[in-house]
Structure 1
Amino acid sequence: MTAPSATWVSRLLLTRFRSYAEASLETGPEPVVLAGPNGAGKTNILEAVSLLSPGRGLRGATYREMEREGDAPGWAVAARLAGRHGQTDVGTGTTAEARDRRQLRIDGTPATNADLLSVVNVLWLTPAMDRLFVEGASNRRKFFDRMVLALYPDHAGHVARYEAAMRERGRLLAEGRADPAWLSALERKMAEHGVAAAAARRDALGALQRLIAVDGQDPFPKAVLALEGEVEARLDTAKALDVEEWLAEALAQRRAADQLSGRAGCGIHRTDLVVTHAAKAMPAGRCSTGEQKALLIGLVLAQTRLVAELTGRWPLLLLDEVAAHLDAGRRGGLFDILMSMGVQAWMTGTDADVFVGLKGRAQLWTIEAGKPTRLAF
């Protein structure tokens, strides 16, 4: 089996993006460390890199929120990607005329999200995810769906179509416009796209669990993963078409109850990702804050390996404020793992000394007053 190839950002250009009127970074394949005080704009750079993937980036912000305050409307992010197969230029952004829809170009040609995923994958971990295991199922489901999307480019489309049909069904029920044929068509659409999304979730979870089980070198606790959801559970024993029939029928039978409750009582929007600390046989939500962070990092590292295995190239990895919250052993272990992978990881921190374990192995940039400056490291 051919080893995964490295893919990295060799040049990043920002125009009227967040706090940056203009910014340019020339980088090599090694990890990139962005150091500077809070509010300097470190995470803004990570957000710009995250827009080399489908969706609204690591903050999930609206495109108007990404515009530089007080400047002309519209923004742009351009990146040159380097790798085994040469260079690829990716550009994305909005215009004054279309501020709520971002455009995407690859090597100067209009492109789709599927085109983008064919040249680069981007994964991330942010402080906003730290409470993932103690908050509601919705955040865990979104987190996992993002992981699935990195493996199956059509997954987001299935989820979006399912949710659109569910919203329309809910609106019709709330208004008392219970046209059986119209409702049946929407429920069929929910069943078709819901089962496709559930099948992708199951496949991704199985692949992740396999990698977690065979890797005994990480300084991070192993996780046992499970999906708690009716649709996913039925796919364990039934064919997809049979599960589609069941879901469509179940939704039809629940119309009166769903009209009263104001929400669909069954479907993939109720699925939860259940994570257990394997060594302690303890639910992640009951683990310490440090253990939860370590479990999260372990999951993202496993996903990184899985993307590399399936695509043949390492993804870009964005780790916002991750090093400062690890003890020295796990911090050093994380740095060693990143170097052994050959992945270009972008990391932020207020104190450059936290990254001393990467000295001579990474690129150090300081961010002050909206200006990135590369330093010897």
Structure 2
Amino acid sequence: MGPRTIGAIPGWAQYAGTKPPSGKPLDLGHDPARVRGLEASNEAAERDSPAGSAHAAARTAVTSLKLTDFRNYATLSLSLDERPVVLTGPNGAGKTNLLEAVSFLSPGRGIRGARIDAVGRQGGDGGWAIAAEVANGDGAVALGTGVMAGETRRKVRVNHAPAGSSAAFLDHLRVLWLTPAMDGLFTGPPADRRRFLDRAVLAIDKTHGTRANAFERAMRGRNRLLAEPAPDSRWLDAIEAEMAGLGVAIAAARREWAGLAAAMLGDAEAAGPFPTAVIALDGTLETDLGHLSASAAEDAYHRRLRDERRRDAAAGRTLAGPHRSDLIVRHGPKDMPAETCSTGEQKALLVGLVLAQTRLVTRLTGETPVVLLDEIAAHLDETRRAALFDLLTELGCQAFMTGTDAAVFAPLANRAQAFAVAGGTVHQE
């Protein structure tokens, strides 16, 4: 891949989407041997495959999607092939609901971040179900999820057998998405960018979500203890030790993703339709890992948590840790912060990031992700729309795209399968 460093910005662990001729190796914040091993494994698979080309990655595609009492669908059964899926119809018809259903075949709460008890069909008993057949490099797998009426915890099934958690889906399918709610990603609060960052990490590291959830639980426990008049210092120390280990692991995984994503961004054409992004991680732990070993960074964070107990108690929350980090994005060619770019430029930067993530997942896993692009035509001019369609075809991924105007997707022609959505019904065109 050959990424290179750029000038350091104090306080940031920075990575570039371009490759200045500095001649210095980029500190990726990850185990290079692991990455080389992943790439070597995939390169060997490509050489041994019948295709024997750079496009030898296995295609992953949802080939069947069945819904029961999900959003505005009482029942629905769709048969699909590996091509991109175009869903058109008026606002409120249920196009995004279909994308949301696919997004539930991954860890988390889907593209809307909805509560599990909020997605059942209005007028139903509260229960809902999603069943899908997925074709991938291992053949075919049946994935399912849903909740029973009166329950609040969703069940997960793989090949009709119960799975421990939704993280099990990542062994068979990786889902990426871009929605209108993310249009304000660069101008919104850091929490939105952390969520974007951590979902990106999760796509290449299935244990990242487990670590992040464990850190949040430990931090809540620490905050509760600090609120007590005389908290047990030994108990606090044990919780802080756990937080330190988890926090450094989270930061290290983010650094690894940032370095790899920068390489993917650097591989893109500088003069292409989607501007190259320069990404940076703004966080204490991420920065510490640039010059400290993981063990030393863990010790430093543990000491800081202990030293700042009084301050955190007064604030009512923990003020230092990976939950305070931020993802910083700049428009590479213009060398300006993404938040000051025009609406169209911000959308183009977002699309470029999602395309880079698609390439990264494909390279590291040997299988293409499924990509959800809700109202993708918004803020993209005709040239960029056509370029996006061509790039999706080149990447070989199954992309679900929605829009109100079918004519917008005309350049795809027979490269996609098209469906009309209206009032909870879906018809192939």
Spell out, residue by residue over 1:170-221, the C-alpha distance to the aligned partner (whole angstroms, 9 max, x if none): 1111232421011111111110110000000000000000010122174100
Provide the rounded CA distance (Å) in 2 between the counterparts of 1:83 and 1:191. Answer: 38
Match of 2:19 in 1: none
Equivalent runs, 1:338-353 vs 2, <5 Å: 338-353=392-407
Match of 1:185 in 2: 238
- Report if aligned partners of 2:136, 2:172 keep a CA contact under 8 Å in 1: no
Spell out, residue by residue over 1:127-171, the C-alpha distance to the aligned partner (whole angstroms, 9 max, x if none): 000001011111101111010000100101111111111111111
- Report if aligned partners of 1:324, 1:354 keep a CA contact under 8 Å in 2: no
Equivalent runs, 1:58-207 vs 2, <5 Å: 58-98=111-151, 100-111=152-163, 112-207=165-260
Residue identity in the other structure for 2:162: P
The answer for unaligned runs of 5 or more in structure 1 is: none
Q: Secondary structure at the match of 1:360?
A: helix
Provide the rounded CA distance (Å) in 2 between the counterparts of 1:9 and 1:281. Answer: 39
Bigger drift between 353-362 and 310-319 goes to: 353-362
Bigger drift between 170-179 and 64-73 goes to: 170-179
Match of 1:249 in 2: 303
Q: Give the structure-1-normalised TM-score.
A: 0.97
Residue identity in the other structure for 1:4: A
Moved over 3 A (4+): none
Provide the rounded CA distance (Å) in 2 between the counterparts of 1:27 and 1:108. Answer: 20
Q: Aligned match of 1:49 in 80, 96, 102? A: 102
Equivalent runs, 1:239-278 vs 2, <5 Å: 239-278=293-332
Provide the rounded CA distance (Å) in 2 between the counterparts of 1:177 and 1:219. Answer: 59
Question: How many equivalent residue pairs?
Answer: 374
Bigger drift between 176-185 and 150-159 goes to: 176-185
1:373 pairs with 2:427: yes
Residue identity in the other structure for 2:144: G
Does the C-alpha gap of structure 1 residues 40 and 177 become closer, same or farther in structure 2, counting only changes over 3 Å? farther
- Report if aligned partners of 2:178, 2:373 keep a CA contact under 8 Å in 1: yes
Provide the rounded CA distance (Å) in 2 between the counterparts of 1:156 and 1:123. Answer: 15
Bigger drift between 85-94 and 309-318 goes to: 85-94
Q: Secondary structure at the match of 2:63?
A: strand
Provide the rounded CA distance (Å) in 2 between the counterparts of 1:84 and 1:266. Answer: 42
Residue identity in the other structure for 2:362: A
- Report if aligned partners of 1:228, 1:274 keep a CA contact under 8 Å in 2: yes
Q: Aligned match of 2:372 in 318, 329, 352? A: 318
Q: Aligned match of 2:280 in 210, 226, 247? A: 226
Q: Secondary structure at the match of 2:114?
A: coil
1:34 pairs with 2:87: yes
Residue identity in the other structure for 2:253: A
Equivalent runs, 1:16-27 vs 2, <5 Å: 16-27=69-80
Residue identity in the other structure for 1:314: T
Provide the rounded CA distance (Å) in 2 between the counterparts of 1:310 and 1:101. Answer: 32
Residue identity in the other structure for 1:298: G
Provide the rounded CA distance (Å) in 2 between the counterparts of 1:319 and 1:28. Answer: 17
Shift of 1:83: 3.0
Q: Secondary structure at the match of 1:71?
A: coil
The answer for unaligned runs of 5 or more in structure 2 is: 1-42, 47-55
Spell out, residue by residue over 1:80-135, the C-alpha distance to the aligned partner (whole angstroms, 9 max, x if none): 0113432111111111242x111111111112434311111000000000001011
Q: Give the structure-2-normalised TM-score.
A: 0.86
Residue identity in the other structure for 2:146: G
Provide the rounded CA distance (Å) in 2 between the counterparts of 1:86 and 1:231. Answer: 41
Provide the rounded CA distance (Å) in 2 between the counterparts of 1:298 and 1:286. Answer: 17
Bigger drift between 82-91 and 204-213 goes to: 82-91
- Report if aligned partners of 1:32, 1:362 keep a CA contact under 8 Å in 2: yes
Bigger drift between 153-162 and 176-185 goes to: 176-185
Q: Secondary structure at the match of 2:415?
A: coil
Shift of 1:65: 0.5
Match of 1:211 in 2: 264
Shift of 1:13: 0.2
Shift of 1:283: 0.6
Match of 1:286 in 2: 340
Residue identity in the other structure for 1:279: P
User: What percent identity do the matched residue pairs reach?
Assistant: 50
- Report if aligned partners of 2:72, 2:424 keep a CA contact under 8 Å in 1: yes
Spell out, residue by residue over 1:275-297, the C-alpha distance to the aligned partner (whole angstroms, 9 max, x if none): 01011110101111111111011
1:238 pairs with 2:303: no
